[in-house]
Chains A and B, each alone.
Chain A
Amino acid sequence: MGKRVLVTGLGTFWGGRVAKALEADPSVDVIVGLDKVEPTIELERTEYVRSDENYSILSRIVEATQVDTIVHTFLVVDSTQMRARTMHEINVIGTMNLFAAATESSVRTVVVKSSSYVYGCAPGDPVWFTEEMARQAPPRHRVERSLLEVEGYVRDFAVDNPHVAVSMLRFSNVLGPELTTPLSRMLELPVVPSIFGFDPRFQFVHEDDVVRAVLFVLERELAGVYNVAGDGLLPWSEVAKICGKRTAPISPIGQRLVTAALSRLGVDIPPEIVDLLKYGRGLDNGRLKRAGFDYTHTSAGAVQAFIESLRLRRTVGPSPDYRYEREVEDFFRRSPAVVRRP
């Protein structure tokens, strides 16, 4: 019998990408995707269930579908896109309900997509964070606090359910052809914002490697915490250079006023990114590599791939949007008129 997988946040970039990748895997029998919003990419056999962001109907779905695997991709790490309240609902309350529903159920594997934000970013940080290292300073930003709370629920669940393989992936800054993040928006600007006098080293992971890492731990049921980040660190000035741009330094004194003004102009540099622009952050990716994972891009390679696709998009325009229509999707999935190839 194949895997029966539940994906949270199907309408988000990651949920959609992971579901799509799972569809290509013949050993996966059933894929159920939850979200409040409709999927934004075309999916063939994933079943979409509309739910509110804190999954009040989740235990019924788990019970009904007898899923054995949960891929929890629905964690917000981009604090510029929503209010603190909404992020708390999605991340903390959502995760709490998810694990409440998964306790004493058919679930045997859980993969959580966390972020390197849990390590924080402080001047006293080591150059490389390993999975066991605790953050140096107490959390300063709401996205960090939110993710730390989420990780607390994940750890509790893993302790309470020793029969479940719980893997938690901590991703570095993601870049790629399709994803939009605060950093990618900054790199799309004509000049790249930086903090004057600071040029810390950044690390990136390509969006394809993120999806591949999720599938990798899922397939092998690798329990535990894993950093996911490309090889190498490169200075922010070099990131801008690879993108063919200059940096526009912001004064470190009164920097809050400047970022507030920029935010009015539509350039959001959230405080957790300001920290990164001063001190940078590196994740030791050795543990996942030793488990057998191969990256397709280095940090610099991810930047290169990002800027190349941006140039293409600027020239030929964005790829056409996909619109989810329930009747059409139902027709393809269930109508006897559709010829299904094995």
Chain B
Amino acid sequence: MPAPAAPELDDPRTSDVDEWGRSEHMREVARSLFAPFYDHWFRVEWEGLEKIPTDGGALLVANHAAAIPSDAPVIMHGIETELERPVYGLADELFKKLPVVGTLWSRCGGVLAHPDNAYRLLRQQQQLVLAFPEGSKGPGKTFDQRYQLRRFGRAGFVQIAMRAGVPVVPIAVVGAEESMPMLANVAPLAKALGLPYLPITANMLAMGPIGAFLHFPVKIKLRVLDPVHFDVPPDQPRYSRSKVMDEAEHIRQQIQEALYEMLRERRSVWKG
């Protein structure tokens, strides 16, 4: 809600860090560092990028994979370079607790996945917001489960999109699963450390210590599906639970089917 017009105040800011912690300057640096990986390592290919709105808010929803997920930076980098509009990525509070990583994550457009944060970004600021409804259950699955979508949380993302009056744009990502496959999860240690999972990845076995951070040079392909508009009025205190769950399940199925189709067409993990 706009506040009544006030006289312009002196605001001696010295950095471009916004209220969410994102800095366009830092994003530029991150994009230039990530560009070689995007172009030459993962050789990213998009399909249907034109379905992502060039203005107005939208909630982008994708499948989530790899021990260190490679899908989030790929989606954010791709949209920001192609569409030239910022993308805010929602993530777990785990990030905020990590020194250095948490700050870098925040400067690069990461925002805590709190319903009010998402609502403000989508409704009041009409931004693009990226969410992974599977949460840590997506990257936390082992390699034999690849491309099997987990439960879409409690469908909170549908509720937020309804409240904010914005469409959900589903994105199917193929390749991320093989970029850092998790062979086993050391669950007891993960629990002791307060982490959602503690992976032993194929990368570690193949590349040694570097493999803890470096993804395999797999081909990553993304397909943007048709935006889902909900014909409900925004800003309602509650929405029909069954409608919310149905919509979430529908979106999940769409992504799942797109994944199967893309996998049928894929000839090689490395070349696409």
Partner-B contacts on A (CB < 8 A) = 123-128, 130, 133, 195-201, 231-235, 237-238, 241-242, 252, 279, 282, 286, 289-290, 292, 294-298, 300-301, 303-304
| Interface range on chain B (Cβ under 8 Å from partner) | 20 to 34
Provide the bound-state CA to CA distance between A127 and B121, in Å.
11
Known contacts A279-B96, A300-B11, A304-B10; is A238 also within 8 Å of B103 by CB?
A: no
Task: Tell which of B33-41, B109-117, B146-154, B184-192 binds the partner.
Answer: B109-117
Contact across chains for B93 and A124 when beta carbons are under 8 A apart = yes
Given A197-B99, A304-B12, residue A126 in contact with residue B117 (CB < 8 A) = yes
Of all chain B residues, which has the CB nearest A230? B9
Q: How many A-B residue pairs have CB under 8 A?
A: 98
Docked Cα-Cα span, A283 to B120, in Å, equals 13
The reply to whether the CB of B209 lies closer than 8 angstroms to some CB of chain A is: no
Measured between beta carbons, the chain A residues less than 8 angstroms from B239 are none
Given contacts A198-B103, A297-B9, A304-B10, contact A127 B3 (CB under 8 A): no
Show the binding face of B for A, using Cβ within 8 Å: 1, 3-4, 6-7, 9-15, 17, 19-21, 93, 96-103, 111-112, 114-117, 120
Contact B12 A242 (CB under 8 A): yes
Could you pull out 28 A-B pairs where Cβ atoms are within 8 angstroms? A123-B93, A123-B112, A124-B112, A124-B114, A126-B114, A126-B117, A127-B114, A127-B120, A128-B19, A128-B116, A128-B117, A197-B99, A197-B103, A201-B17, A201-B19, A231-B11, A235-B15, A237-B15, A238-B14, A238-B15, A242-B12, A289-B4, A290-B3, A294-B7, A296-B9, A297-B10, A298-B11, A304-B12
Q: Given A234-B17, A289-B4 in contact, is the A301-B12 Cβ separation under 8 Å?
A: yes
**B residues less than 8 Å from A241 (CB atoms):** 14-15
Q: Which listed residue (B6, B97, B99, B114) contacts A196, Cβ 8 A?
A: B99
Please list the 6 inter-chain residue pairs (A to B) with the smallest Cβ-Cβ separation, ordered nearest first: A197-B99, A289-B3, A197-B100, A123-B96, A126-B116, A123-B93
- By the criterion CB–CB under 8 Å, are A298 and B10 in contact? yes
Task: Please give, as numbers and ranges, the residues of chain B lying within 8 Å of A198 by CB-CB distance.
Answer: 99, 102-103
Interface contact A127-B20, CB-CB below 8 Å: yes
Closest chain-B Cβ to A290's Cβ sits at a distance in Å of 6
Chain B residues near A237 (CB, 8 Å)? 15
Contact (Cβ within 8 A) A286 B20: no
Residues of B within 8 A of A130 (CB): 116
* Cross-chain contact A234 with B1 (CB below 8 angstroms): no
Which residues of chain B have C-beta atoms less than 8 A from A303's C-beta? 12
CA distance A252 to B98 in the complex (A): 10
Tell me which residues across on chain A come within 8 A of B120, comparing CB atoms. Answer: 127-128
Inside 8 A of B115's CB, which chain A residues have their CB?
Answer: 126
Given A128-B117, A201-B17: 19 more A-B contacts, CB < 8 Å: A123-B97, A126-B112, A126-B114, A126-B115, A126-B117, A127-B117, A133-B116, A197-B99, A198-B103, A201-B21, A231-B9, A231-B11, A282-B19, A286-B1, A292-B4, A294-B7, A298-B9, A298-B10, A301-B11
A197, closest chain B residue (CB) = B99
Picked from B10, B12, B102, the residue with its CB within 8 Å of the CB of A197 is: B102
Pair B97/A199 contact, Cβ less than 8 Å: no
The residue that B13 contacts in the complex, of A125, A196, A238, A252, with Cβ under 8 A, is A238
In the complex, how many angstroms separate the beta carbon of B203 from the nearest chain A beta carbon? 25
Docked complex Cα distance between A322 and B14 (Å): 37
Chain B contacts for A233, CB-based, 8 A: 19
Contact of B14 among A127, A232, A242, A289 (CB under 8 A): A242
- Inter-chain CA distance A197–B117, complex, in Å, is 23
The distance in angstroms between the C-alpha atoms of A200 and B93, with both chains bound, is: 14
- Indicate if the CB atoms of A125 and B114 lie closer than 8 Å: yes
List A contacts of B11 (CB < 8 A): 231-232, 298, 300-301
Question: How far does the Cβ of A234 sit from chain B's closest Cβ, in whole Å?
Answer: 6
Chain A residues with CB under 8 A of B7: 294
**Given the complex, which residues of A lie within 8 Å of B1, measured CB to CB?**
286, 290
**Given A201-B17, A201-B19: A127 in contact with B111 (beta carbons within 8 A):** yes
Residue of B nearest to A129 (CB): B116
Closest to A286 in B: B3
Assembly CA distance A201 to B23 (angstroms): 12
Complex formed: what's the CA distance from A232 to B97 in Å? 23
Q: How far is the CA of A242 from the CA of B14 in the complex (A)?
A: 7
Q: List A contacts of B102 (CB < 8 A).
A: 197-198
CA distance A303 to B98 in the complex (A): 27
In the complex, A294→B10 CA distance in Å?
13
- Give B111's nearest chain A residue, CB to CB: A127
Q: Are B97 and A234 in contact (CB under 8 A)?
A: no
CB distance from B121 to the nearest CB of A (A): 9
Roughly how many angstroms separate A124 CA and B111 CA in the complex, as a whole number?
Answer: 11
- Chain B residues whose CB sits within 8 angstroms of the CB of A234 once the complex forms: 13, 15, 17
A290 vs B103: C-alpha distance in the bound complex, in angstroms?
Answer: 33
Q: Which residues of B contact A196 (CB under 8 A)?
A: 99-100
